[in-house]
Amino acid sequence: MTKLGIIGHPLNIITHLQTAVQQHDICFSGYFSEDINNTVSDFSAMPEMKTAEKLIAESDAIIIAANNSEYFIFATAALKNAKHLFMPITLLNSVSEANKLIKLANEANVILKVFRQETVFADVFREIGINGSVWLIEMHHFTNFSGKNPSKNMFFNLMNNLDFILSLTHSNVASLKAAGLNMISDAPDIINARIDFDNGCSATLTCSNASLKEEHIVTLVQKDKIIHIDLVRENAMIWNITRQGDTSQTTVPGVNQFKKPESFSASLTGFVKLLNEKNRLIINPEDNFKSFMLAHRIMDKVNKTTSQTV
C-alpha cells in the first residue's frame, strides 16, 4: 500500500482524494503544517507529524498543499529522499528552482507532477477538429487592470497562454522576440512576444493587464483551414479552404468548455493513479515546466527593453 503524506493544509486535499485513495490502495501517512490552525483532529486517519522530515521519511509520496514559496524547501526535501511529489507551480520563483527540482526528480527516478491552472481546455482540439500541423498562431489576452501584484499577474497570464501554444506546436523554440510597456503600473502592463518553432510554426502572443474590457481571442492557421476562437464570447468560426479557392464557413457556438481549466481534483487523482501503476510510463519532469521557463525567458527580454510612458 502506498503511503501519501500532505504538507500544508490537508482538509481540501482529503476532500479531493477520498474516492481515489479508496480505489487505488493508498493510505494517508499523515500531515505536517507550519500553521497551528491547520489541524484536522476530527479526521482520525490523518495523524499530525511534528516535523516535515518525519512525515517525508514515513511516506512514499508527498503532496504540497500550499501556494506560497516558503514551502519550496519541502519539495526539494521530498525529492532528495526519493519521494514522489505533487506540487503547485506557484511554489517556484525562478528557472533555477525549476531546474533544481528536475535534476532531483531525474536522479531519484520518481514522479514529479506540477499543477498549473490552465485557461484553455484540451478538448478544444477534438471539438473543432484541430488534428494537423498548425503553422500560425495569434493570441490576444486582455484583462482588466488589478493593482495587486501586476508583475505576478502578467507572468501567469503569459504562462497559461503559452501552455496552449506549446500543446499545439509540439516543437522546440527556435527564436524568441519580446517587448513590453509600462502603462499604468511599475511592471509591464502589456507584452507582445513572437515565437518561432523548429517545425516552422510561428506564434504571436499579446497579453495586457490594463484593458478596459476582457478579450481572449485565438486565431489558428492550418494548411486547409483558419480557426478563430473567442474565449470570452464562447464561440468559434472555422473557414475550410480548398486548393481550388472554394471556402466553407462553420460556426461553433457555446464553446464554454474551451475555458474549462484542468481541475485540481482531476490533476490530483491522476497523480494518485500513477503511484500504483506498476507499468506506468515514466513522466519526463521537464514537461511540467516548459511554459514556466518560456514565460521567464519572455519576461527577461521584456525587462531589458521595457520603456516607461511619459
- Tell me the per-residue pLDDT of 172-208, one tens digit each, with 9 for 90 and over: 999 999 999 888 888 888 999 999 999 999 999 999 9
In the chain, CATH 3.30.360.10 sits at 124-261+294-308
Which residues have CB under 8 Å from 291's CB, separation 6+? 116, 159, 160, 162, 163, 166
- Burial class of residue 206, CB neighbours in 10 A (0-12, 13-18, 19+): middle
pTM equals 0.84
Task: Choose between 93 and 285: higher pLDDT.
Answer: 93
- Stated as kind and residue range, the H or E segment containing 49 is none
Query: What pLDDT shows up at residue 310?
Result: 40
In the chain, CATH 3.40.50.720 sits at 2-117+263-277
Q: What does the DSSP assignment read for 102-125? A: HHHHHHHT--EEEE---SS-TTHH
What is the CATH code for 124-261+294-308? 3.30.360.10
Task: Choose between 310 and 10: higher pLDDT.
Answer: 10
Which CATH architecture best describes the domain 2-117+263-277? 3-Layer(aba) Sandwich (3.40)
Cα torsion through 82, 84, 89, 94, rounded to 10 = 10
